[in-house]
Amino acid sequence: MTHATRRKLRVLLATSEAVPFAKTGGLGDVAGSLPQALIAEGAKCAVIMPKYATIPQEHRDRMEHLGEMYVPLAWRSVYCGVEHLVHDGVDFYFLDNEDYFKRDSLYGYFDDGERFAFFSKAICEAIELFPELQCDVVQCNDWQTALVPVFLREFYRESDACNNVKCVFTVHNVKFQGQFGDSLLDDVLGVGHIPAAADQLRCDDRSINFMKGALCYSDLLTTVSPSYAVELQMPFFGEGLDYMFRRRASILSGILNGIDQGIWNPETDPLIAFHYGADSIDGKKEAKRALQEECGLVQDEDAPLIVMIGRLTNQKGLGLVRYAMGRIMSEGAQMVVLGTGDADQEEAFRYFESCYPGQMCARITFDNALSHRMYAGGDILLMPSEFEPCGLSQMIAMRYGTLPVVRETGGLRDSVQPYNQFTGEGTGFSFANMNADEMADCLLGACWLYRDNKEAWRVLQRRGMTTDFSWDRAAVEYLELFHALHPEIIPWKKR
Ligand code: ADP
């Protein structure tokens, strides 16, 4: 082993989306927030992503052209520009090829396999050619960057810049694995003649699976909550890759995502009219009254106000809510639902609104400002997901003193401590099974506590509002894992 040196660990975060440049889901939030937190904890961190045509012009105007390169892709050499900008103290590098990235949206094209194979190969090439991009750890995220570990090992072992780079692969959603026809092996990836690579990428006779490649080739695997790391190893959650997660269990860890506690803060949130904090919660009563008025609900302080905010898809356990709606409404609770998604789910909640005027409101739209008012004005956030890799809504709700009722899965299980009526412990309520009566029992138990034991409710609210869901905690955990891959680098900050 070489001499140990104290210096900053250099992390390159490879991602297909990052806030504020491009976002379709939670990955965009992670890539937008984690780098700053890693830097604050004493690492160097840069982000590399595609230069999409959809990146807002104000950011494109600030990009500086760093250079260009030709990326070897099987039998071709493909042009790639490299652009750079600094945003909130983080270096962002954009890989530019208009054939691949000058499109109306990020994903969903016939050649997605080729587009993101190109992106992954271009990342390797950029690490080799641009000194600014040299790193100790490359953190790859989801299938779009899953080929980086494969390419680095198969094509860049001889490169001084690449041969000591450790690959970390982070799973944000195992439902999307990047499965394509195996003609890509020869035509695009250029690994058809390497039996080990071809074998490890294959998932059946005719298809290859990018994520499977990353699971085989990475030095470390992470996912976005400790419970999801266990669930990924089960057939029910693993989407056909559970056997791979079991095989690689010794290098698999779960780190709970954070939330941006600057944005999600009921004391300063500019999108809510009434501010409040853990020790001065009166403003929340006003926020509830305002939300009831806005949504056409009866102005009753004692009626527990249940909010649901999120995609209206099967993953979110909406079947349970639909089944139990009559029982919930007959107990005098109120409900506001905000979300878009599957047509049948949207229709069901519109129908409930017409059945329960003054008690139920469905806003079938995407409305960030309304979501803030709902987190502030609600008493209870309902999130009975079938699976939830991490989940942000439950953490945001706790910050706003809105107690979550969740199913015990993935990140919901890891972030919500269930109420114990004997000890008073807890930050919310949870139930175990995908069973509508079990959910309704748990939810109505929470409603009862809200109405009849204000003191206990207040204690739970305060505990949730003061729990640390910051990215700093996640960054410390990531850096501990990254440093274990590089024992020759002594951490810059003492931890
Ligand atoms: P997922 O990533 O599965 O969609 P999360 O709970 O992790 O679910 O994150 C969802 C985020 O998107 C939350 O911040 C939530 O407030 C926000 N969100 C979801 N749907 C809507 C909507 N219709 N309007 C406003 N914000 C929404």
Mind listing the pLDDT tens digit for each residue in 409-457? 999 999 999 999 999 999 999 999 999 999 999 999 999 999 999 999 9
Q: Read off the pLDDT of each residue in 244-253 and give the average, rounded to a whole number.
A: 98
- CA–centroid distance, 426 to ligand 1, in Å, is 24
- CA–centroid distance, 393 to ligand 1, in Å, is 7
Q: Read off the pLDDT of each residue in 110-120 and give the average, rounded to a whole number.
A: 98
Q: What number does the ligand 1 atom closest to the CA of 371 have?
A: 25
Q: Which of 311, 345, 382 gets mutated to test ligand 1 (max ligand atoms within 8 A of its CB)?
A: 311
**pLDDT tens-place string over residues 6-42:** 999 999 999 999 999 998 888 998 999 999 999 999 9
* Residue 400 to residues 35, 240, 351, 462, Cα–Cα distance (Å): 25, 38, 29, 9
More confident residue, 406 or 282: 406
Q: Which own/partner contact pairs does 414-420 have at CB distance under 8 Å and 24+ positions apart?
A: 414/225, 414/226, 414/227, 414/254, 414/256, 415/225, 415/256, 415/391, 415/469, 417/463, 419/446, 419/449, 419/456, 419/460
- CA–centroid distance, 390 to ligand 1, in Å, is 12
Q: How confident is the model at residue 205 (pLDDT cuts 50, 70, 90)?
A: confident
Alpha carbon nearest to ligand 1 atom 3, residue: 391
Q: Is the pLDDT of residue 493 over 90?
A: no
Q: Which of 345, 371, 383, 395 gets mutated to test ligand 1 (max ligand atoms within 8 A of its CB)?
A: 371
Q: Which amino acid is at 253?
A: S
Alpha carbon nearest to ligand 1 atom 16, residue: 393
Question: With b meaning 16 or more CB within 10 Å and e meaning fewer, what string describes 97-133?
Answer: beebbeeeebeeeeebbbbbbbbbbbbbbbbbebeeb
- CA–centroid distance, 377 to ligand 1, in Å, is 17
Pocket flag, ligand 1, residue 79 (CB < 6 Å)? no
pTM reported for the whole predicted model? 0.94
| Whether residue 20 has a cis bond before it, omega within 30° of 0 | yes
Pocket flag, ligand 1, residue 313 (CB < 6 Å)? no
Give residue for tokens 């990235």: 101
Pocket flag, ligand 1, residue 402 (CB < 6 Å)? no
Q: Cα separation of 448 and 398, whole Å?
A: 19
pLDDT for residue 378: 98
More confident residue, 262 or 97: 97
- CA–centroid distance, 309 to ligand 1, in Å, is 6
Q: How confident is the model at residue 492 (pLDDT cuts 50, 70, 90)?
A: confident
Q: How confident is the model at residue 58 (pLDDT cuts 50, 70, 90)?
A: very high
**pLDDT tens-place string over residues 305-351:** 999 999 999 999 999 999 999 999 999 999 999 999 999 999 999 99
Alpha carbon nearest to ligand 1 atom 22, residue: 366
Alpha carbon nearest to ligand 1 atom 12, residue: 310
Q: What number does the ligand 1 atom closest to the CA of 365 have?
A: 23
Q: How confident is the model at residue 1 (pLDDT cuts 50, 70, 90)?
A: low
Q: Which of 269, 308, 309 gets mutated to test ligand 1 (max ligand atoms within 8 A of its CB)?
A: 309
pLDDT for residue 111: 97
**Which segments of 344-438 are extended strands (E)?**
360-363, 380-383, 403-407, 429-431
pLDDT for residue 29: 87
Mean pLDDT of the chain: 96
Pocket flag, ligand 1, residue 395 (CB < 6 Å)? no
Q: What number does the ligand 1 atom closest to the CA of 259 have?
A: 14
Domains defined for the chain, CATH in brackets: 5-258+472-490 (3.40.50.2000), 281-468 (3.40.50.2000)
Q: How confident is the model at residue 471 (pLDDT cuts 50, 70, 90)?
A: very high
pLDDT for residue 4: 87
Q: Is the pLDDT of residue 101 over 70?
A: yes
Alpha carbon nearest to ligand 1 atom 19, residue: 310
Q: Cα separation of 362 and 348, whole Å?
A: 10
Bridge partners of 169, per DSSP, are 140, 221
Instruction: Give the whole-number percent of the chain exceeding pLDDT 90.
Output: 95
pLDDT for residue 440: 98
β 76-87/166-171 pair status: unpaired
Contact 214, 146 (CB under 8 A): yes
- Maximum CA extent, the chain: 72
| 138 contact partners, CB below 8 Å, separation of at least 6 | 11, 12, 13, 14, 123, 127, 148, 152, 165, 166, 167, 168
List helix spans (H) across 356-409: 368-377, 393-399
Count of helix runs (H) and strand runs (E) in the chain: 20, 19
Q: Cα separation of 410 and 426, whole Å?
A: 18
Q: Read off the pLDDT of each residue in 184-200 and give the average, rounded to a whole number.
A: 96
Q: Is the pLDDT of residue 495 over 60?
A: no
- CA–centroid distance, 310 to ligand 1, in Å, is 4
